[in-house]
Amino acid sequence: MSKMLGVFVGLLLLVGLAASAKFDELFQPSWAMDHFIHEGELLKLKLDNYSGAGFGSKSKYMFGKVTIQLKLVEGDSAGTVTAFYMSSDGPTHNEFDFEFLGNTTGEPYSVQTNVYVNGVGNREQRLNLWFDPTKDFHTYSIFWNQRQVVFLVDETPIRVHTNLEHKGIPFPKDQAMGVYSSIWNADDWATQGGRVKTDWSHAPFVATYKDFQIDACACPVPVTSADSAKNCSSSEDKKYWWDEPTLSELNLHQSHQLMWVRANHMVYDYCADTARFPVIPAECVHHRHH
């Protein structure tokens, strides 16, 4: 009996999930299809002085984990941005951003994260990666449930955005989100505040992808946000893996990893920017980064 029950629970855990490693099953080009290059299991997006390129998921999702493996633009990538993000639609959208900011050869590649809630962003954090992301593929993930949003690099948490609704602070948990990636020219701000411009003699700039995975709750488009949130939350009838109590916050090892990242690699945190925010943003007062 217990064995059968285990199989049954296992089936319940899979309800509504999408998981794959193939680009065409999960995604489609959004723009500049002539800037896509398929080489076996690899997908390359290129940026030149005519255009960048981008793609988006075929479905929208509520809670779970999305992951890509990415090798960033090699050599002089100043002025370029490669982005991997989740976003809902409309003026009051929610969004979770990874933005990889190019640099001149030999300078560290930095990654900027941001969180939009109900159309409001301005929550930038920036860190220098502890490896050269242009030499090998690395894994970048966004994990999302009703308690927290976690940004991960090679499964190391680099940022946590905690649900603080009990403090009156809105949390993104009621809008299904698409998964997107793109490469574009942002030399008005991306590298050293826009002081270093894109050198088009190095074009095309190429970002290379593989192993796309979405282990999340797919939401049919006509369904309302309230119904999507209900359908993608655990109940007596169904249990989702992202609602497991152990995933409601970082474990001790992950907390130590996050402390190490913040202490050794963070170069900007909006919570500490008193010039931009003379009054500390409410979530910064309450967020625990330990």
Residues serving a catalytic function are: 95, 99
State the Cα–Cα distance between residues 111 and 36, nearest whole angstrom. Answer: 23
Q: Is 193 exposed, middle or buried (0-12, 13-18, 19+ CB in 10 A)?
A: exposed
CB 26, CB 33: distance < 8 Å: no
Amino acid at 17: L
Dist. CA 195–CA 189, nearest whole Å: 8
CB 138 within 8 A of CB 154: yes
Residue 112 and residue 96: Cα distance in Å, rounded?
11
Among 207, 201, 183, CA closest to 134: 207
127 vs 103: CA distance, rounded Å: 13
